[in-house]
Amino acid sequence: MYKRYELRRTAYVPMEVISARSDLPMLFTTADLSPGGAYVTSEIAPPIGEHLVCSFDLGLARELCFFGEVSRINLGRRMHDRGPLGFGIRFLDAGPRERLSIRRMLRGLPPPAPSPRRSNALTRAMGWA
C-alpha cells in the first residue's frame, strides 16, 4: 500500500509537462503540490505508470525540473472519484535540496480541502441521492 510521506498543499502553479509519447510540452496547472509530487488538473490524462518530465517555477533561483511518473488518474468516471479532474505525478528524482526548497516555499499554504463524493447519475435520476 502506498503511504504518503509529505503533506500536500493547495498551490496553483503552472507546470510544463513533456510525456514519453510526445516531445511537445503541454502546460497544466497544479491543484496541489508537495515535495514528492503534484496533482495536475486536466480533462485528459496519460496512463498510469507513464514517465514524464515536469518543470515549474516557485520563485526560486532556478526553475525546478524533475522526472515523474503518473501515479493516479481522476477522470470523474467512478463513484469514488473526488475533486478536480486530472492526474497525480510522483517525482522520481527530487533530491534532498529540491525537496527542502519546495517544502519551504509551500510553508504556510493550506492543505487541499476534502471534496464531496460524486453521486452516480442513475442514483440522482431515480431520486435516491
Query: What's residue 4's pLDDT?
Result: 58
Judged by DSSP in three states, 18 sits in strand
Query: What's residue 52's pLDDT?
Result: 95
What stretches in the chain show pLDDT beneath 50? Answer: 118-129
In-domain check, residue 19:
yes
In-domain check, residue 97:
yes
Query: What's residue 122's pLDDT?
Result: 42
pTM: 0.79
In-domain check, residue 73:
yes
Query: What's residue 77's pLDDT?
Result: 72
State which amino acid sits at residue 41: T
Which residue segment(s) compose the domain that 73 sits in? 9-125
CATH code of residue 106: 2.40.10.220
By CB atoms closer than 10 A (0-12, 13-18, 19+), residue 34 is buried
Strands 14-19 and 26-34, bridge-based pairing: antiparallel
Across-strand partners of 33?
9, 38
In-domain check, residue 2:
no
Spatial CA neighbour of 53 closest among 3, 19, 14? 19
Query: What's residue 123's pLDDT?
Result: 41
In-domain check, residue 16:
yes
In-domain check, residue 14:
yes
For residues 116 and 89, what is the distance between their CA atoms, to the nearest angstrom?
Answer: 22
* Structural domains counted in the chain: 1
Query: What's residue 108's pLDDT?
Result: 85
